[in-house]
């Protein structure tokens, strides 16, 4: 049994891709730039919102000043539309309640901007489920760099050998776990593929919430 579980957010707990894609495409449309499909955005996301903005911006619109302006524009649009279509994945609220009842400690660690991560978690989940909800902060390298994960574990008072599991949906999450000395369970309902998670070296794979529960509780 794992005593502590650190969850990725987008693609793991919440299906946010349509709101992210729609918001990005609104920005693209406003500038006359090419728009992209939700499937393409599944590969644009995962490394934080500044990297998402860079990826959807045309190559000749990526100067530091332009990217900063586009990021501010995206933040405003996404802030207004982040709840249009977003929803928890099937079985996730029940899973979280069951893990909490079993005594599992839980936290969220996302590359999503901290204010957005906190906002969506507060809207869709019981606030008592997670001891800490943390998104990307200006002075902390984004995942898969280990600093943020280590700081989160320090705040929880846990160590890598203390029964901690990281759960996510992409190779970024597997690398995040491994860089912090943790095993990773890759979820198959998210933005990326089973093959990507296997290639990255995920110790476990879960096809639905029930399978994830078995991984955590043993």
| Residue-wise pLDDT tens digits, 91-109 | 999 999 999 999 999 999 9
* Overall average pLDDT of the 196-203 stretch: 98
> Looking at the chain, which residues constitute the CATH 1.10.150 domain(s)?
17-81
d(CA 43, CA 170): 9
What average pLDDT is seen over the chain?
A: 97
75-91 pLDDT, tens digit per residue, is 999 999 999 999 999 99
* Overall average pLDDT of the 9-32 stretch: 98
Query: What's the CATH code, domain 4-15+86-217?
Result: 3.40.50.1000
> Looking at the chain, which residues constitute the CATH 3.40.50.1000 domain(s)?
4-15+86-217
109 sits in which H/E element: strand 105-113
What CATH number does domain 17-81 carry, 1.10.150, 2.40.10, 3.30.70, 1.10.3470? 1.10.150
d(CA 64, CA 167): 33
CA distances from 24 to 68, 177, 185, 194, 206 (A): 14, 28, 29, 26, 30
User: Is the predicted pLDDT of residue 127 greater than 90, yes or no?
Assistant: no
pLDDT band at 185 (very low <50, low <70, confident <90, very high): very high
pLDDT recorded at residue 90: 97
41-70 pLDDT, tens digit per residue, is 999 999 999 999 999 999 999 999 999 999
Please identify every residue annotated as catalytic. Answer: 8
Q: Which residues pair with 113 in a beta bridge?
A: 136
pLDDT recorded at residue 140: 94
* Overall average pLDDT of the 133-153 stretch: 96
Are 188 and 207 in contact by the 8 Å Cβ rule? The answer is yes
pTM of the complete model: 0.95
Could you give phi then psi for residue 103, rounded to 5 degrees? 90, 10
Helix axes 64-81, 49-56, angle to 10 degrees: 110
């Amino acid at each position: 049994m794992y005593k502590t579980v650190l969850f990725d957010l987008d693609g793991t707990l919440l299906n946010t891709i349509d709101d992210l894609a729609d918001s990005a495409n609104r920005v693209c449309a406003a500038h006359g730039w090419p728009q992209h499909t939700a499937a393409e955005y599944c590969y644009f996301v995962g490394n934080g919102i500044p990297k998402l903005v860079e990826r959807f911006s045309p190559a000749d619109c990526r100067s530091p000043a332009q990217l900063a302006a586009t990021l501010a524009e995206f933040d405003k649009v996404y802030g207004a539309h982040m709840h249009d279509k977003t929803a928890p994945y099937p079985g996730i609220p029940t899973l979280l309640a069951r893990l909490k009842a079993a005594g599992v400690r839980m936290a969220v660690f996302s590359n999503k901007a901290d204010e957005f991560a906190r906002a969506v978690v507060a809207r869709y989940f019981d606030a008592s489920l997670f001891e800490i909800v943390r998104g990307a902060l200006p002075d902390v390298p984004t995942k898969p760099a280990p600093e943020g994960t280590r700081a989160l574990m320090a705040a929880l008072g846990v160590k890598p050998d203390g029964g901690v599991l990281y759960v996510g949906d992409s190779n970024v999450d597997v690398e995040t776990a491994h860089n912090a000395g943790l095993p990773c369970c890759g979820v198959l309902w998210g933005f990326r593929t089973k093959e990507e998670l296997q290639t990255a070296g995920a110790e476990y794979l879960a096809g639905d919430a029930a399978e994830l529960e078995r991984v955590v509780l043993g």
